[in-house]
Amino acid sequence: MSYLNIDAQAQNTYDAIVIGSGISGGWAAKELTGKGLRTLVLERGRDVRHVTDYPTTNKQPWEFEHRNQLKQEVREANPIISKCYAFYEGTEQFFVKDAEHPYVQDKPFDWIRGYQVGGKSLMWARQTQRWSDFDFEGPARDGFAVDWPIRYADIAPWYSYVERFAGITGNKDGLATLPDGEFLPPHEWNCVEKHFQQKVAAKYKDRHVIMGRAAHLTQPQPIHFQQGRAQCQHRTICERGCPFGGYFSSNSSTIPWAAKTGKMTLRPHSVVHSIIYDEKKGRATGVRVIDANTKQMQEFYARIIFLNAAALNSNLVLLNSTSHRFPNGLGNDSGILGKYVAFHNYRAGISGEYDGNLDSTTDGRRPNSPYIPRFRNVLKQETNFLRGYASGFSAGRMSRSDQSGVGADLKESLLNPKLGGWYVGSHMMGETIPKETNYLALDPTLKDPFGIPQLKISIAYDDNDDKMVKDYQEQLTEMFTEAGFKNIRVRDSHAAPGLDIHEMGGVRMGKDPKTSMLNKWNQLHAVKNVFVTDGASMTSTSTQNPSLTYMALTARAADYAVKAMKKGLV
């Protein structure tokens, strides 16, 4: 029997294991296989292959049984996921239903997940901004969280590296708060958006309205054609999966690229239970996996492990990875694992109307919109709240069709709707402060369907967030008024955290092992061959969308890990 066990272990041994196949996991797979490592990619959900597994991507509205609306019974059975803007009949197959992976809401939290190869990279909003030193230096300036162990100069070349491969559209704006990148041509403005940009520029020296930066191929380059991807068609049904590969996803880009090396083994239906720690060797040796179909436990082994299960699940895996050496979770000598979790505050919005430019309207669709970078508390603390917020902005022509007719009359009405004035709108994306009171823990009694402890989530807004919402409403109202917009209405949804789908922290980076989990290479201080490069690793959240930073951190960490492995340092 011992010989059989040795043979089985050899068959299950790889150079590297990647846990998760979403945005950061896909990049880890691409980089590690590209550097010659035999890499096992573990995904808890089913396989989803580019093009062939996008069942609704070419469906017309009338081809959906319920006209692309959710059935009432689906809504009632899924009160959490039904709150997500991207969850509808055409995308149901890509979202985790409420009963599939239960969790404990110590405080209200809407956890939005996608368990399949590609993870949430299939359904993400594709906004990709770089961070600046104002973001990396934030914690050191105001004393909340801990100082980042890196600065913009450390990650800038890796931003460029991933931007060129993923394909990012944008404009060279020359802003210190939002560094320029390696951009494909930007999306176009409409006349009212341009009007707003000009009015803001004339009134404020520190406020800017720019075209958003997004992971869309407006002008594919040779590297994108090599991936089998084509130009974005502006269909704006991206969350169904794009058969053109017009936007970046693991499914259309990094996972197939890794597969072409012949070095990747992709194993879907693999629910990671924990990371195995060898007390004698003082290192992690592998991963325990529960087969989602058979419920049988299996072990896989590797020299290095990349944990990319998405922020909350990466915390869950580490918390559940206990041993005599680490009774409170793998690498948790500091006791901060699962703590200092933060997110983005999307509660606030503003809308209005504009009576100008009535001789113009929009034509076609656009999977992107203008963006207002952070302008509060940048150079100094100037408000009664810490940090700041960014904002989206868009404008469109109001229209109304008479749908009472049939045949030619109905067709004519639909093709030539009655046009009203312009509507304008903005949403806030505020930076929340990582606090010890915002934490994750394992429930001591409740288990999920695989016998793994359920995750207890205790995360909430605070007074700083409320003050930020108020300031956003005041400042955007002033800016809308300056642009001549009317019927201005502000809103605060008071929604629970979670619907931003930007949870970060719990396994944060830092300089001191006493106050952080990871070093500047995203490497566990206490377990040198384990790397965490998804949202769990973030020390603070900034106001920018985080996915581009996950990509860059992953590519950087993989480069370091392989070099260190060859030197025998991990």
Same domain, 385 and 283: no
In a domain, 451, yes or no: no
In a domain, 203, yes or no: yes
The pLDDT value given to residue 1: 43
Same domain, 355 and 379: yes
Joined together, the tokens standing for residue 241 give 């999966």
Q: What is the CA radius of gyration of the chain?
A: 24
Residue 307 in 3-state DSSP?
A: strand
Same domain, 548 and 492: no
Same domain, 200 and 141: no
Q: Which DSSP string do the residues of 1-39 spell out, in sequence order?
A: -HHHHHHHHHHTEEEEEEE--SHHHHHHHHHHHHTT--E
In a domain, 224, yes or no: no
Same domain, 260 and 330: yes
In a domain, 163, yes or no: yes
464-478 per-position pLDDT tens digit: 999 999 999 999 999
- Are 24 and 249 a contacting pair, CB within 8 Å? no
Percent of the chain with pLDDT over 90: 93
In a domain, 134, yes or no: yes
Same domain, 321 and 363: no
- Are 435 and 340 a contacting pair, CB within 8 Å? yes
127-144 per-position pLDDT tens digit: 999 999 999 999 999 888
492-517 per-position pLDDT tens digit: 999 999 999 999 999 999 999 999 99
> What is the distance between the alpha carbons of residues 482 and 485, in angstroms, rounded to a whole number?
8
Beta strands in 154-296 (DSSP E): 168-169, 183-184, 210-211, 264-267, 270-278, 283-291
Joined together, the tokens standing for residue 131 give 């961070």
Same domain, 331 and 350: no
Q: Which helix (H) or strand (E) holds 136?
A: helix 133-136
In a domain, 82, yes or no: no
Same domain, 352 and 484: yes
375-416 per-position pLDDT tens digit: 999 999 999 999 999 999 999 999 877 777 788 877 887 777
Mean pLDDT taken over the chain = 96
Same domain, 308 and 329: yes
Number of domains within the chain:
2
Joined together, the tokens standing for residue 458 give 């205790």
Same domain, 264 and 124: yes
Residue 393 in 3-state DSSP?
A: strand
Same domain, 468 and 523: no
The pLDDT value given to residue 2: 44
pLDDT at 561 over 70: yes
Joined together, the tokens standing for residue 457 give 């989530």
182-231 per-position pLDDT tens digit: 999 999 999 999 999 999 999 999 999 999 999 999 999 999 999 999 99
The CATH code of the domain that includes 325 is 3.50.50.60
The CATH code of the domain that includes 378 is 3.30.410
Same domain, 539 and 506: yes
Instruction: Give this prediction's pTM.
Output: 0.96
In a domain, 93, yes or no: no
> What is the distance between the alpha carbons of residues 218 and 235, in angstroms, rounded to a whole number?
13
Joined together, the tokens standing for residue 327 give 């009774």
Residue 477: give the domain boundaries.
186-211+344-431+461-496
